[in-house]
A and B are shown apart, each in its own frame.
Chain A
Amino acid sequence: MAEAAKSRSEPVAALPTWPDEIYRVLKDAGIRQVAMVPDAGHSRLIRSFEADPETRVVTLTTEEEGVAMLAGAWLGGERGVLLLQSSGVGNCINMLSLPVICHMPLLMIVTMRGDWGEFNPWQIPMGQGTRPSLEAMGVIVNKVDEPDLVASTVQGAANLAFNTWKPVAVLIGQRVLGAKNFKELARK
């Protein structure tokens, strides 16, 4: 009983609050279509959207589908968000021509791999290439490494995207997400 009370008094350590905060931010931004290839870092946010009758969550076979889908959504007057892992950014590159040349908003929320604390060497090339490849295509990139700053970073990115018709990506660093270590898991 005392133990339970103690754990309730320490919510920060128990559960990060930023996924719920960015759900609110995205709702306030008028997001109706959520295009995604899942990532563990986005799982809580995805569950929130799936439970929301006002949003349509579309599971993609590859992330570039989402870039095109959200361009179609914008033509039809709906706002969307693309949720993806940094490895999926590489799949999007040519399709980013579409929002760039048409001055369409695109909000991408990218959970990083190949970043702080990465254990899997195969994640490094695309992880380290994420920002430069997005910037090479004309996407505005905001990276966030502090849990307390995630919501305000997403809010600023949404304002930028939808008010200035730009593709904008928020990169959520592994300092926020926590780096996985499957090798440790395998030893257990």
Chain B
Amino acid sequence: MTANPNALLHRRDVVNELVRDRADLLVIAGLGAPNWDVSAAGDHPNNFPLWGAMGGASMMGLGLALAQPKRRVLVITGDGEMLMNVGSLATIAVEAPKNLTIAVLDNERFGETGMQKTPTASGVDLAAIATACGIRTSRIVRTMAEVSELRDLAHEGRGTAFAQIKINPEALVFVMPPADGVILTTRFRQSVLGDEALFN
């Protein structure tokens, strides 16, 4: 049986593929379902899953990417979260960190609040916005083959990349990481910076 090529992607298949063989990849997850998806793929000290701070995921990725130029940084967030601070794409395009990829899981819905439509449901093209800002590697992703290409870009690419991944608006079981921001911060810093991070 072959899959319907027009079927929307399943978000957890997408995220599992993006973090496959993650090595020392650093992941920021936007609040809501992207947090649960990243956690479902496996809780990890190199994940920073957000429980709030809507609109901040991509800029956290920028600050982290600038601070850790030798590591790869992948931001996985939702369309509503990205739209809340879409100006970040202008800021990030200008800085153009070579080690940052932003993957937007676009279900065209505000999933946590009752599946209300977001502007992408009416055709707002985030990938085109990213392109217009100056992020040259920017695309809409609709197939798992394209997700695999994006995974390779995120792990090995040379330049800022952006993808708007069209996914099924399915509501899945919540898989939650630790909710305590101090735990998330401390374990991430300890993992990335070593035990020294505990002393300053």
Contact = CB atoms under 8 A, between A and B. Distances in A.
Given A65-B88, A71-B56, A71-B63, 16 more contacts: A33-B63, A58-B91, A62-B87, A68-B56, A68-B59, A69-B62, A74-B63, A75-B48, A75-B60, A75-B189, A76-B63, A76-B65, A77-B68, A78-B67, A94-B52, A102-B185
B66 A78 contact: yes
A154 B58 CA distance: 29
Interface residues of A, number: 33
B59 A104 contact: no
Interface in A92-150: 94-95, 97-98, 101-104
What DSSP secondary structure best describes chain A's contact surface?
A: helix
Contacts, number: 118
A36 B61 CA distance: 17
A32 B193 CA distance: 16
A61 interface: yes
Interface of A: 32-33, 35, 56, 58-62, 64-78, 80, 94-95, 97-98, 101-104
B53 A72 contact: no
Nearest to B46: A75
Given A56-B66, A69-B59, A72-B64, A77 B192 contact: yes
